[in-house]
Every structure is written in C-alpha cells, then in structure tokens.
Amino acid sequence: MVKINIDGKEIEADPSKTIIEVAGEAGISIPHFCWHPRLSVSGNCRMCLVEVEKSPKLAVACATKVTDGMVVHTENQRVIKAREAVMEFILINHPLDCPICDEAGECKLQDYSYKYSRGYSRFDDDKVRKPKRVELGPNVMLDAERCIMCSRCVRFTDEIASKPQLVFTQRGDRIELTTAPGEQLDNPYSMNVVELCPVGALTSRDFRFKARVWEMSATESICTGCARGCNTNVWVRNNEILRLTPRFNPDVNDYWMCDYGRLNTFKCVNSETRVKAPLLRRNGDLVEVGWEEVIAEVVNRLQSFNKMEVAGIGSPFRTNEDNYIFAKLIKNIIGTPHIDFLSYLEQGEEDDLLIRADKTPNSLGAREVGVFPNQNGLNFKQIIKAIESKFIKCLYLIDDRIPLTEEFTSALVKIDYLIIHATNINKLTAIADVVLPASTYAEMNGTFTNFQGRVQWIKPAVATVELDRSLDGMALSRLDKFGAPNDRWMKWNKRDARPTWRILSHVGSAINPKFRYNSAEEIFNEIASSVEAFRGLTYKKIGSRGVKIRQKVLANTKI
C-alpha cells in the first residue's frame, strides 16, 4: 500500500490502481468519457486530466498508476482550463440536438457541458456531417454525428462480449464508428453499448423516442429471463414498463445484462392479453366472475375430490413466497403429497458471461421452500401419467408457462378439473376450468433465489387494482407524481390481478381460517424461521444486492 494526497485528502491506496480508481473509492469524482472500470484503458478522451505535483504535464487519471507520496489536484484552475479546452474540442462538430436526443438527462456530455464548457463556440465553420439513423444491428441504432470516439463500445464488443463487431474508420474529424466488414452488432449483449455510450450516439431501437428519463420512475428489480437473476432497474411511465436497464451488482451480473432479458421479460406485463379478471368455465365457455365467487368455487371443487386425487404444480417463475404458500396449501391444508414443478435445466443456450441454460429465475428457491413430493408423493412426470390413468382428477397449477408438450396436452384434456394462476391468456388458459389472474414479477413484492443461491428482492414497479389497495404497494404514489393518471394509465390499471401468495391465502383461509397472510414480508419471515437455507434472513438484510444462502445447505440441494 502507498500513501497519496488527492485534493488535500490523505489516502492509503493499492499501487496497482490508477488515480481515477483511487479517487473514486475515496468519494472524489473525476470527470471522464472513455474510462470504464471493466474495460481496458484507452486514455483517448483526455477529460480526466489532473495535476500531479512535480510533473511537468497534466496526467491522464485513468492511465496513471498511483505512487507513494503522490500529490494530486483534480479541481484547480490549471485542470479546469484543460477540461474546458477538451470540451470545446469535443463540441466542435457535436450536433445541438439535446431537445430530441434519447440520452438527454443521462448524458455525460450534457452534464459536463454545464460544468466545464465555455457556453459558446469560437469555430465558425460548418460542422462535419456524418450518417444518422444507422441500424448497426437488430437492437441498436447509431447517430454518428453524436459519437465522441470514446471507444467504449468497441472495447466492450471485443473484451466483454468477445465479438469484435465494431470498429472506427477514416481519420481525423472524419472518423466514424461502424460495424466490421461482413458483421452487424448482433451479439447477445449488444444493447449494453447503449448504457456504455456517454452520449446519445448509440440508442435502443426498442425504446427510441418513447419517453424522457425524467418522465419515468425507476424501480430496483430482478431479470426473470434465466437463473442468473441479473439486477435491473424497471423504468415506468403511465403504469407501463418502457425499458429495463442493468443495475450494478458485482456478485451477480456486474454492469451487464443480455438482450433477451431486456426485451423479452417485460412485454408480457404490458400485453393486451393479460388476464384482467377471474375466469370460470360455464357451459363450455370462460366467463368473468368476481373474486369471492371464484374462490368459493375453487374451494368447493378442491374439497369435492379425495385428497389423493389432487396434485399441485409449483413454479420456478414464481417467488419464494408464492411457492412456500403453495407447498403449505397442497401438503398441509389440502393434504395431498403430490406436488412438484417442471425443471427447465438445460432447456436453452448458456455462455461463460451471464446467460444460463436454466431459463427460470427461481428453480433453486422453489425446491428449498418445499415444492417437491412428500414420501409416497408423485413427481412431475408421475403426475402426468397419473392424470392419464385417471388417478389424479384435479390439478392445481400456479405456472402458466409450462410448455404444452404432446404428452402434457394429452393428459390435461383428460383431467376432471384444472385450476391455474395465469398472467396472460394462452393455450393453457384455454383448456382450464378456472383461471385466476396473477400479478407479474413487476407488480409485487417477493424474493427469488438464483442458481448461485443468492436470495434477491423484487419490488412493485407498476400497479394493478389489487396493488392500489394493498398496504405493501408503493407504486401508485410514484406513478402519479408527474400529474393525474391519463386514459392510457387507466387502461393498464384495470388489471385486477393479485399476487399468487395472496390468492393462495384466500383459498387456504376459506378451508382453514388460520391460513391467512397479509403481506409477502410476513411470509418471508415465516420462511426464514422454518426453512434452514433462509434462516435469519429479512428483507432488510437482503437489501438491493441480495444475500447468499449458506454453502453447506446449498451443496445438499438437489434440483
């Protein structure tokens, strides 16, 4: 370790680190464009210039290692003047289109312009014109005029995504970002360059021109696209999710997120196919009914069967709280040992960065909280065969995403009574006798356990009718802070969906009045007191980055 002085602050530092890293760890912010903690150092923007005493020239903070006794100044007049010169140079050809730029409100260039720019240009020549609206790939759009050649995107595709698909061509002020010959920006992580870009040169084709950052609320959540459980921010306007962005967590996804998770995990929340009210089959058709009526019907039908004729299918897409209550309802209240869930292991592609073969967010958690058959109980495959043989006559599913294979479809057609929790209308809801509208991950509190055994907390980002009147829903006040809800907001808000744990609590309490829960946190506290892997955990301890369950417990878990 070495001792250095930055702006009068004595700091003990690792000699392998650079000035910008040490300063950041000490809470001293040095402006920069090209530097990123997970990318190689390029040192080409020169925005991070600082003065090091006894050095004849200003030093590039991102490329200069700290040494013992070093004295650094990051905000004196010499440094500020140099930054003003850098900003003036960068802005010579930069278009004045902040009012229509998607990056406005999140733009480093915009922020530094206010702090370090002269406010006017000394150059009278016309700006250099470059290509606009260039489709680099299926998900990313380029405005070459805005590019400041920081090379972050080029280094990311080469070093992180391991797909060197971006290059610079030409020289001087004619230099342009483009794709390599015969390539397009289509790697599984291509959209990370949108956040990496410090200006508005690279934008998301899916989110382009949909909203301003200051018009949206951002809620910390988890990606449900695979067992990784990448930390995300859910961006919402008028109760509609408009985009997902990665949230830094060094233990899970670092700074990154895959394109599949960004684009495919939230569209179902906004979809017009959402189940908006309870559905009950009458005279062959599904009709909308009230919650009290449908709960009474479900309870009556469950009690009309011998308990050994009932089976439950849990869900690796539902939270720990949902699965815990479901296991407790099936095993203790209904009294059947037949419960399991479909494992999605090795159902898809996997890589060495983030993407997992298991495309569910909570396989490990579902198993830990009790979704497995009791002694003499049937597992998933056995339940299907038992339906075929008419041994199982009533099936309760809380997973509407189970793939309808020929074998499974053939079995479901023969079932006497099928109850499902569903978020969207699909082929499974079409054959159900009861459809209970369930909240999505973006509409509820709860936890997931990823493949590493890390328990992570999700929070409501959008509201439903149920969430509006729920004590543990806080989304409405955020959604309404920009003014009264409009017609579009009211359309989305007509979804009368409820968290799966709450639906199960209503069903269970109708059979046994003691089976009643008022919040997801109450359920998790019970899990933490009764399930060894979660012993001692609370929502507060989980926090924004999650907590890993004990390795000894995890090692004994079979999935």
Nearest 5°: the CA angle 384, 387, 392 is: 115
* Total domains in the fold of the chain: 3
Question: Bridge partners of 129?
Answer: none
| 165 and 20 in a common domain | no
**In a domain? residue 420:** yes
Together in a domain, 255 and 149:
yes
Residue 262 shares a structural domain with residue 289: no
**Of 238, 270, 302, which marks where a domain is finished?**
270
Same domain, 412 and 358: yes
pLDDT tens column, 509-555: 999 999 999 999 999 999 999 999 999 999 999 999 999 986 455 54
Would 399 be classed as within a structural domain?
A: yes
Burial of 187 (0-12, 13-18, 19+ CB in 10 A): buried
Domain that residue 397 falls in: 279-440+497-536
Listed residue (556, 538, 510) closest to 447, CA to CA: 538
**Rounded (5°) CA angle 48-49-52:** 130
The answer to whether residues 130 and 263 belong to one domain is yes
**Domain presence at residue 485:** no
Say whether both 82 and 181 belong to one domain.
no
Does residue 137 sit in the same domain as residue 161? Answer: yes
pTM confidence score: 0.91
Both 265 and 285 in a single domain?
no
Q: Is residue 473 part of a domain?
A: no
Residue with tokens 């990123």: 36
CATH number at residue 49: 3.10.20.740
In a domain, 164, yes or no: yes
Q: Which residue, 270, 287, 322, sits at the end of a domain?
A: 270
Nearest to 535 by CA among 545, 515, 550, 520: 550
Most confident of 11-15, 95-99, 552-556: 11-15
Q: Same structural domain for residues 197 and 287?
A: no
Q: Which amino acid is at 154?
A: V
CATH of the domain at 295: 3.40.50.740
Mind listing the pLDDT tens digit for each residue in 238-250? Answer: 999 999 999 999 9
Same domain, residue pair 193 and 221: yes
* Domain limit, last residue, from 246, 270, 294: 270
Assess if residue 117 is contained within a domain.
Answer: no
From the list 51, 25, 148, the residue with the least C-alpha distance to 93 is 148
Same domain, 388 and 423: yes
Distances (CA, A) of 501 to 289, 419, 497: 20, 15, 12
As a whole number, the mean pLDDT across the chain is 91
Measured distance CA(553)–CA(455) in Å, rounded: 13
How far apart CA 226 and CA 78 sit, in angstroms, is 50
Question: Within a domain: residue 197?
Answer: yes
The verdict on 199 and 325 lying in the same domain is no
- pLDDT digit string, tens, across residues 452-508: 999 999 999 999 886 555 434 444 444 443 334 445 444 545 678 999 999 999 999
* Alpha carbons 230 and 355: distance in angstroms, whole number: 10
Per-residue pLDDT band at 409 (split at 50, 70, 90): confident
Q: What average pLDDT score do residues 305-313 get?
A: 96
